[in-house]
Chain A
Amino acid sequence: MGDDVGQTSTRSRTQEPALAQLEFPLPGARKPLNRGRIYFVLAVMMMAGASGTIVILVASLLRPDATSNPWVIVGSIVLSALVFPFAYILSTVRDFSVRDGVMTLRLPVRLASGTKTRRIALAVVDHAEPFVWSDGDSGLLVLLKDRTQIRIWKSDLPEGSDQFLASFLAVYGQTNRAKRNQT
């Protein structure tokens, strides 16, 4: 018993600094390119451009003295309308980060409760395990306490993310699960 307490207290002492270090991008490291903001601005501009084009084409289609081929105009409207799903998806992408015990994912995930969110508190993380995908990409499969599965892909993280993944695995790895639950 005393050993358990001792072990627990020892693990707690070792995990606390590890949890404190779970920040991404790492403090002091070079700030990565803010892709999320760039993509969002681009997506908004694309939606605006596609909307303007569709308005012009529809107005041309309805004009009685139009000289352009109506089928070409209709086709252009269809292609312009296809911009919207692409732009919408692009606008939902953010940068991965971990700050103050909250993990922000690049894409929103649907929790077991049905709500969609991209911000996950580290406190609800049950455990994580590494995985390798069929195309060579790898990362961490994170299981939340409500059984929701989240994948942190290595290809989604900027260069130099190995240290963060190792730290995350050290804290939330499967082997530490029982010990962490005890604490």
Chain B
Amino acid sequence: MDSTATSLTPGRSPERAWRLILRNRMKRCCGPYPAPGLWCLIRRFELDPIAGLDELRYRQNDTSAAANSDILQEILSGNVTFLDVSAILDLLRLNDTGAWVRQSVGWINAAVVGLVSAAGISVAFVASVGSAILKLYKIVHERTLGRASSLVRYVSFGLSLLSFGLLIFGFGNLSGVELFAVDMLGVFLAMGGFAIYVIESAKSLSKATDVLSSIAAPMEQIVAFTAPFVGGLKFLEHGWQGKYG
């Protein structure tokens, strides 16, 4: 046991003390949104107090930056029966409606989530920029040939790709006016790219060459046709979540 451990045995009744401890812990760890297990523990403890909880003591180790992070941070100790332990564990596994939930989801470290999210955004960014630059190269090639139809189709595809890139960036921690501007631009580019692609590929000659194409044309169509819908849904979702406020 760490030497700086502090024993928290409030003078109030054990039940109230427990609620205070858990609520304080939730505020510290989870902000305004409590973890489902702990929240349910309180809710269910209020509805159906378990005798074993009264016997437990809460102990918190040193949480300063200088402390060893490998040690146990918080300890529940006390003499309870095996059935009490089972009851407490069951309470932690149940959600508000009494259904079993996978608590392991809540145990993933926030840093891991941040790392994975950053990696995904980085990959998406590199892919978007790379695709856009490749399209610019093809555009320069078509421009040299003076073929406007293919050029405009490449432009529309490039705009759709950019819209996807911007929408992916909306998954970052953008909020407020910045998120609104990025989402709006993404949706507009997607709709513009879609309109241009439809106009240019409506000609029978374009359709004939599209049939001959194995990968490029179907991929262009998927990107150009889905971008406005994905962008629109993302815009609505962000608005629904109140992220623009």
Using A49-B188, A50-B185 as known contacts, say yes or no to A83 and B159 having CB atoms under 8 A apart.
yes
Q: Do A42 and B196 have beta carbons less than 8 Å apart?
A: yes
B194 CB to closest chain A CB, in angstroms? 11
> Which residues on B sit within 8 Å (CB–CB) of A89?
139, 143, 151, 155
Q: Is A93 an interface residue (CB 8 A)?
A: yes
With both beta carbons as reference points, the residue of chain A lying nearest to B150 in the complex is identified as A155
Restricting to A92-106, which residues have a CB under 8 Å from any CB of B?
93, 105-106
Using A75-B121, A82-B162, A153-B146 as known contacts, say yes or no to A56 and B177 having CB atoms under 8 A apart.
yes
| Assembled-state Cα–Cα distance A159/B204 (Å) | 8
From B148, B162, B206, A93 is in contact (CB under 8 Å) with B148
Using A56-B178, A86-B159, A151-B147 as known contacts, say yes or no to A79 and B165 having CB atoms under 8 A apart.
yes
Q: Is B182 an interface residue (CB 8 A)?
A: yes
A: number of interface residues (CB 8 Å): 46
Q: Is A90 an interface residue (CB 8 A)?
A: yes
Q: Is A4 an interface residue (CB 8 A)?
A: no
| Assembled-state Cα–Cα distance A46/B193 (Å) | 10
Q: Do B203 and A155 have beta carbons less than 8 Å apart?
A: yes
Q: Do A155 and B162 have beta carbons less than 8 Å apart?
A: no
| Assembled-state Cα–Cα distance A35/B162 (Å) | 22
Using A56-B178, A83-B159, A150-B146 as known contacts, say yes or no to A76 and B169 having CB atoms under 8 A apart.
yes
Secondary structure at the B interface, as helix, strand, loop or mixed, is helix
B71 CB to closest chain A CB, in angstroms? 32
| Assembled-state Cα–Cα distance A49/B192 (Å) | 12
| Assembled-state Cα–Cα distance A22/B208 (Å) | 27
| Assembled-state Cα–Cα distance A36/B19 (Å) | 69
Annotate B116-150 by CB proximity to A: 1 below 8 A, 0 otherwise: 00000100010011001000100100010111111
From A49, A69, A137, A151, B173 is in contact (CB under 8 Å) with A69
Q: Do B121 and A72 have beta carbons less than 8 Å apart?
A: yes
Q: Do B129 and A82 have beta carbons less than 8 Å apart?
A: yes
From A85, A93, A158, B136 is in contact (CB under 8 Å) with A85
Annotate A50-83 by CB proximity to B: 1 below 8 A, 0 otherwise: 1011001100100000011100110110111011
From B125, B146, B204, B206, A75 is in contact (CB under 8 Å) with B125
Q: Do A68 and B196 have beta carbons less than 8 Å apart?
A: no
> Which residues on A sit within 8 Å (CB–CB) of B203?
155, 158-159
Annotate B184-228 by CB proximity to A: 1 below 8 A, 0 otherwise: 110011001001100110011110110010000000000000000
Which among A53, A72, A107, A153 has the greatest number of chain B C-beta atoms within 10 A?
A: A72
**What are 11 A-B pairs with beta-carbon distances under 8 A?**
A35-B152, A45-B188, A67-B173, A68-B178, A75-B169, A76-B178, A79-B162, A83-B159, A90-B196, A93-B148, A136-B212
Q: Which residues of B contact A (CB under 8 A)?
A: 121, 125, 128-129, 132, 136, 139, 143, 145-152, 155, 158-159, 162, 165-166, 169, 172-175, 177-178, 181-182, 184-185, 188-189, 192, 195-196, 199-200, 203-206, 208-209, 212
* 4 nearest A-B residue pairs (beta carbon): A72-B172, A106-B148, A155-B149, A53-B181
